[in-house]
């Protein structure tokens, strides 16, 4: 599952990276612990030229109350055993909460890294998972929906991150799922409502593990209210050998959190 991620880029850099307009009143601060219920920048198909703030945790338009579906399995109800060799149907297209969004309400979610725990111990044994060579921000593949609370007459725009089978790096934690990270040249196709559904489902595969790495951090990240750069301080070496990685100064070298987003 991918229920926590990090985004500390200056808001201007997000606009440059994704070639979108940043509204002057967009209010977002750097976060080392974005979790369900948090509002975070997205680029969504309803306004693909502008950065927006959506809530992490999708509530379907037909729901009676808020649901916070923060992940959407690409296999839907198939592959319940999370077989990493699964190459069957992407049954997300048939799930009641996701079948409309996957067809016409897609989004990309900028992130610098994400937090993942082990399958059994979860966030009692967390890791920061990042892309090598300082590739950040990158883009999760997401879907969004619009939900009206009939009690308060308020409208919420919310999203889920799509997950797939674990790649080789996530298996080493070990963890049983991977978030779908889009290749940069697929991002506009993902947002385009005219992209054939077969091409969309073809994008729902694990990211190349050779381009990723992870290192362990303290379990205090499990507190959803915890914030601060110290949350992602390494407490051990990375999973894969990395000669450029130094535990004492990795955070400074990686560039996480250099400036507060306003």
For the chain, the maximum distance between any two Cα atoms, rounded to a whole number of angstroms, is: 56
Please choose, from the candidates 259, 251, 73, the residue with its C-alpha nearest in 3D space to the C-alpha of residue 162: 73
Q: Write out the E strands in the chain.
A: 4-7, 31-34, 39-44, 52-56, 71-73, 106-111, 113-118, 122-131, 138-149, 154-165, 177-179, 212-216
Q: What's the CA gap between 218 and 185, in Å, rounded?
A: 35
Q: Which two three-digit tokens encode residue 252? A: 């400074």
Please choose, from the candidates 232, 262, 234, 245, the residue with its C-alpha nearest in 3D space to the C-alpha of residue 112: 232
106 by DSSP, 3-state: which? Answer: strand
Please choose, from the candidates 164, 166, 111, 157, the residue with its C-alpha nearest in 3D space to the C-alpha of residue 136: 111
Question: Which residues contact residue 195 at a Cβ distance below 8 angstroms, ignoring those fewer than 6 apart?
Answer: 189
Question: Is 116 among the catalytic positions?
Answer: yes
Q: What is the dihedral of CA 213, 170, 129, 34, to 10 degrees?
A: 170
Which of these is catalytic: 75, 107, 116, 187? 116
Question: Is 75 among the catalytic positions?
Answer: no
Q: What's the CA gap between 59 and 97, in Å, rounded?
A: 8
Which of these is catalytic: 2, 75, 107, 187? 2
Residues recognised as catalytic:
2, 116
């Amino acid at each position: 599952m991918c229920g926590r991620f990090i985004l500390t880029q200056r808001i201007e850099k997000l606009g440059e990276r994704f070639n979108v307009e940043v509204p002057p009143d967009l209010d977002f601060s750097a976060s080392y612990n974005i979790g369900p219920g948090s509002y975070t920048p997205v680029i969504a198909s309803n306004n693909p030229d502008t950065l927006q703030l959506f809530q992490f945790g999708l509530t379907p338009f037909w729901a009676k109350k808020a649901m916070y579906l923060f992940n959407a399995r690409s296999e839907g109800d198939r592959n319940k055993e999370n077989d990493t060799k699964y190459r069957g149907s992407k049954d997300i297209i048939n799930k009641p909460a996701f079948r409309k969004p996957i067809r016409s309400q897609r989004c990309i979610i900028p992130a610098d890294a994400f937090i993942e725990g082990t399958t059994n111990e979860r966030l009692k044994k967390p890791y920061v998972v990042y892309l090598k060579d300082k590739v950040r921000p990158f883009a999760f593949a997401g879907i969004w929906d619009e939900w009206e609370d009939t009690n308060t007459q308020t409208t919420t725009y919310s999203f889920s991150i799509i997950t797939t089978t674990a790649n080789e790096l996530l298996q080493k934690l070990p963890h049983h799922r991977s978030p779908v990270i889009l290749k940069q040249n697929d991002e506009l196709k993902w947002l385009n409502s005219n992209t054939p559904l077969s091409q969309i489902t073809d994008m729902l595969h694990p990211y190349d593990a050779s381009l990723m790495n992870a290192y362990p951090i303290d379990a205090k990240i499990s507190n959803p209210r915890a914030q601060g750069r110290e949350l992602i301080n390494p407490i051990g070496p990375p999973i894969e050998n990395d000669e450029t990685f130094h535990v004492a100064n990795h955070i400074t070298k990686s560039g996480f959190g250099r400036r507060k987003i306003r």
